Amino acid sequence: MLTVINQFLSASELAHFRQTLDGANWQDGARSAGQLAAPLKTNLQLDDSSAAARSLATNLSAKLSQHPLFISAALPDKIYPPKFNCYQNDGHYGQHIDSAIMRCADGSSLRSDLSATLFLSQAQDYEGGELCVEIGGCLQEIKLDAGDMILYPANCLHEVKPVPKGQRLAAFFWVQSLIRSHQQRQQLFELDQSIQALTIKLGSDDEEVRRLSALYHNLLREWAYA
């Protein structure tokens, strides 16, 4: 399942992110890749220990913890601290699959159930740079506007196409979900979205809304791996 969250960042938030990144100190992105992925990775990445990276990661993590659509789609248990990258001058990342277990700087770890990319450059400001994700034998190309986010299963082969012109800035991170199964998570997401729509239409006191809400929480209780 691919989930697009449009305008995750407001115009003012996006301006703050871009201003901070414009003066940031970038380093070779291959330094953070695994042994197999490193030869495929040609991009720049923000030093995770830099003040800019820490500040933006904190801001983004706080927003993620309060965003209803993200929470509904991801059902997050743990979130890997967001990172930031830059593709330019034909930079790209060849087809690969993300590591199953992600190690954090503080020594903790998480299982990568979902991958996320938050686009920080306007789509018309650079050529190429599509995020290509293979799901169910179908290849899907994603290139969103600045401030938009895409969530996709971390067990999918994916790549970032070369950027021959312009600059593609993005934040990326991984999520360990309370629900390991992608199918079950998608079913819960669809059920939750229906409940929210019916609540607006019928009110939270409606008998069928209460019945569906109880079903949602009982399924979550049955399927969760917290």
Give the residue numbers of the binding site for Fe cation: 96, 98, 158
| DSSP-derived secondary structure letter, 82 | P
- The Cβ-side half-sphere exposure at 28, using a 13 Å CA radius, reads 7
Write out the binding residues for 2-oxoglutarate. 168
- DSSP of 114-182, one letter per residue? EEEEEE-S-GGGBS---EEEEETTEEEEE-PPTT-EEEEETTS-EEEEEE-SB-EEEEEEEEEES---H
Angle at 142 between CA 124 and CA 32, to 5 degrees: 95
| DSSP-derived secondary structure letter, 81 | P
CB 20 within 8 A of CB 46: no
CB 9 within 8 A of CB 82: no
**Which residues does 115 contact at the CB level (< 8 Å), separation at least 6?**
98, 151, 152, 153, 154, 156, 158, 172, 173, 174, 175
Write out the binding residues. 96, 98, 158, 168
Distance CA 153, CA 168 (A): 22
